[in-house]
Structure 1
Amino acid sequence: MEVGIYHSALKPAQRQREWQKAVIGETKIFLGTRSALWVPMPNLGLIIVDEEHDTSYAQEDAQPYYDTKRVVRWLSELGGIPVVYGSATPRIETFYEAQELRQTRLHTLPERPLGISLPHVRLIDMIHAERVNAFFSKELVQSMDEVLSRGKQVFLLANRKGFAPFLICSMCGFVAKCVQCDVSLTYHQATRRLKCHYCGFETSLYTRCPSCEREGLHFSGYGTEKVEEVLKTLFPDRRVLRMDKEAIDSLEKLSAALERIKDKKIDIVVGTKMISKGLDFPEVELVGVLDADHFLYFPDFRSSERTFQLLSQMSGRAGRAFSESLVLVQTRSIDKTSIQKSALHDYPGFFAQETQNRKMASYPPYGHIVILNFTCYDKEVGAALSSKISTELKESLGPENKMLGPTEALIFKLSGQYRYRTMVKTQQPEKVVGAIESMFDRNPDYEKTVSVVVDPLGMIL
């Protein structure tokens, strides 16, 4: 049976070949990322969306803006094609549709295959815990030593790339920032460069403060490179592998890294969230999360959901072939629902609390949000235009629609453009979008400045 693979990392000739085989019906199973949905396969009989909660299923940073789940639903309705969604931590909206609205059938797996129990999760309160350094508790280091001494493997989640996310002057308070974006530059020790993870700008490491010209620069915070360096000091006889998009930047490197882990040529793996899903290594007995609070306090109504999903997915890397496994989660927010419920493997309990919060605020699944993003190279022009368009839209909408903004976006300047945002909370998003389209018809130039996203999976960009 012919199996096709389709994703953006393929070379153009490979993509064309896979596309042609799928279109003529030669390919029977087509495995791909979100772009695979746009390949017109004949006689399509089933669509499976694995890890349906993953944010990579939404394209919100470039035209055309779309959510894969909506495209799948459209294809299903158009062709009468059954769809299967799979996830250990489904989107709140997906679970709500199945459990509350009964729009889809809900099938749950009460236990892991072969009767293997879920790992025990222990929370470490970093406010009071004894530490080895700024980001390793003594308990985590001791547990790692015990597991490694038994010949087992350890996975560590440190969800920041680079060596340090900040370069700060202790004399004048200067923070190294991107010239194109309103974000700090991350120091990468492997190249001795400061990099922007949004627009790609980079520069060499400063030897003196550019502001006061004194020698008071120091790094603050940590990333995977720093953790890797510390691990090699704490465990000098152990083999450490770093997995992030800087270290693993090709399919060949990824395949080689996974092969080394499988062959037990690696003892400790430290990485970003790329190590949190889809990996099945039976010798991983301990998983450590260095900072469970990373996503928790983002100004995004999905931040609790993101935290629960990441912790649950990361926990799933432990004890894949045996029941005696442990997950240690370091946090300063030990009482938060998303952290408590993930430690108990209690998705229904988290769902109940999260939907209660969302219902009070009319967030999905109890309402919809329409986001208008305004971008302009001139700060004042952008502010005036976002205010004008938002006012015009508000006048065309009824009082049942609640408008918030315009306000400066969380990352106000990105790739040289200033960004403003207006949010509309509504029960009828199609009417809001219709009003926006009518406004664009009257003023075609608006489309050059405004982009519109309905129920985005991320609120940061």
Structure 2
Amino acid sequence: LHSDIETLERIKILRDLRRGEFDVLVGINLLREGLDLPEVSLVAILDADKEGFLRSEQSLIQTIGRAARNARGKAILYADKITDSMRRAIDETNRRRSLQEAYNKEHNITPQTIVKSIDATLVTAYEADYFKVPLNLEAFEEYTSENIEATIAKLEGQMRHAAKNLEFERAAELRDRVKYLRERELQMT
């Protein structure tokens, strides 16, 4: 998984991981706050001692936390030396674990892996690109040949933004509006 993979393809890959269709997912230079995958039981951070944004204390804590929703979750940091960022991240993770263990003991809680259904958005994200959304055509009647291209560009930007934010029905609606306007544009010429 890397940043050049399109949103819909990324969703399909994550869905397949959650379904157990493969056991290992390798992320390259990724730091996505929205990833919530309780099935992840092991996070390995290669070159953890290479200083930079992706190996800062906060980034390491966030990446280590990917395994925290699994009762058997573990994180392994591969490095030649322990950097200050690594030390602070390890210390903070241990501090949080101690607090959680004390709370669990006090309230007789046995840690369990979070059980989370595969979100309907994840299940249908790939197919959503082909979902037909009814158009409100009267909203498009005021376009002229002078402003239609700017409107199309604006709608395409909104469509990409909606897809990036996993709002696939909205993205499909915008795609269909763009298609309709392109047809109108051809009729105007």
Same fold (TM over 0.5): no
Whichever of the two has the greater Rg, that structure is 1
**Higher relative contact order structure (alpha carbons within 8 Å, sequence separation ≥ 6):** 2
If the length of structure 1 is used for normalisation, what is the TM-score?
0.19
Looking at secondary structure, tell me which structure has more helix per residue: 2
Looking at secondary structure, tell me which structure has more strand per residue: 1
If the length of structure 2 is used for normalisation, what is the TM-score?
0.44
